[in-house]
Amino acid sequence: MTTQTDAPAAGAAEYAPEIAPRLPWAQLVPEVYKAMIRLDTAAKQGLDPKLYELVKIRASQINHCALCLDMHSKDALAAGESVERIVQLSAWEESRHFYTGKELAALELTEAVTVLTDGFVPDEVYERAAEFFEETELAQLIAAITVINAWNRFGVTCRMTPGHYQPGQHK
């Protein structure tokens, strides 16, 4: 990252300045942050790590959470996910052949839970997910989707800065 005092090298691209976060929420309410970490840890139990990261990336794309996109793309790569499948997530409906039926059901459920534009998750979306996930795993998936949406709300509202996360940093 270039700082205000660093002069760009001749011919180097000049990037926009990094925007500072609005509020260091985790430092100000550490018990809430610790509770979120515990909730996140509990929510991912029993879920495939790659699927878990794909769900987190997709919800973060929808919510425009730059910090979470940075973090979970890096964690997905570290978990062995391919760049191609991560890149295609924003257009997963047109790129269905990159994903398994189970992953597609999880992505569709992620969108329905994240957006809730009609005030509910459509029965057909829920039923499709229920075809691929046993009840306990489906409950874990719903928990994981709910938790990433909560993280996204903190990240977006407080305008948390992406680009500094290292894979596994928060484990």
Q: What's residue 44's pLDDT? A: 95
pLDDT, tens digit (0-9, with 9 covering 90-100), for 28-84 = 999 999 999 999 999 999 999 999 999 999 999 999 999 999 999 999 999 999 999
Q: What's residue 159's pLDDT? A: 94
Q: At what angle do helices 30-43 and 135-157 cross, to 10 degrees?
A: 150
- What's the longest Cα–Cα distance across the chain? 58
The beta strand positions in the chain, using DSSP E, are none
Q: What's residue 3's pLDDT? A: 44
**Residue among 55, 26, 38, 62 at smallest CA distance from 154:** 26
pLDDT, tens digit (0-9, with 9 covering 90-100), for 107-130 = 999 999 999 987 899 999 999 999
Any idea which residue has 């005030």 for tokens? Answer: 119
Q: Which residues contact 105 (CB under 8 A, 6 or more apart)?
A: 128, 129, 131, 132, 133
Residue 10 has pLDDT above 50, yes or no: yes
pLDDT, tens digit (0-9, with 9 covering 90-100), for 34-48 = 999 999 999 999 999
pLDDT band for position 4 (cuts 50, 70, 90) = very low
Average pLDDT over the chain reads: 92
Cβ atoms within 10 Å, residue 91: 10
The pTM is what?
Answer: 0.89
